[in-house]
Amino acid sequence: MELIINIFLGILGVYFLIGFLFALYFSFKGANKIDPLMTDTKKKVRFLLFSGIVATWPFLIAKVFKSNTSQL
């Protein structure tokens, strides 16, 4: 059981660590690429979105990649 707990918490930790790093980039730069409404969005709103970006980074990273591919 301890092994399962270690694996689960390890995955959870890595998930949130990647999410945190991605959110640092996405909140202030990446979001502008996928959503034109973000261009004029204020900093305090970007801070508000931070935790949600950490939580849902796999969906958002896919969208950023798609937007980069379509721009090529």
Beta carbon of residue 59, minimum distance to other proteins (angstroms, whole number) = 5
Residues in contact with other proteins by the rule CB under 8 A = 1-2, 5, 8-9, 31, 34-35, 37-42, 44-45, 48-49, 51-52, 54-56, 59-60, 63
Distances 67 to 34, 49, 59, 60 between C-alpha atoms, Å: 6, 20, 13, 11
Beta carbon of residue 15, minimum distance to other proteins (angstroms, whole number) = 11
Helices (H), 1-72: 2-25, 31-34, 43-55, 57-71
Beta carbon of residue 31, minimum distance to other proteins (angstroms, whole number) = 8
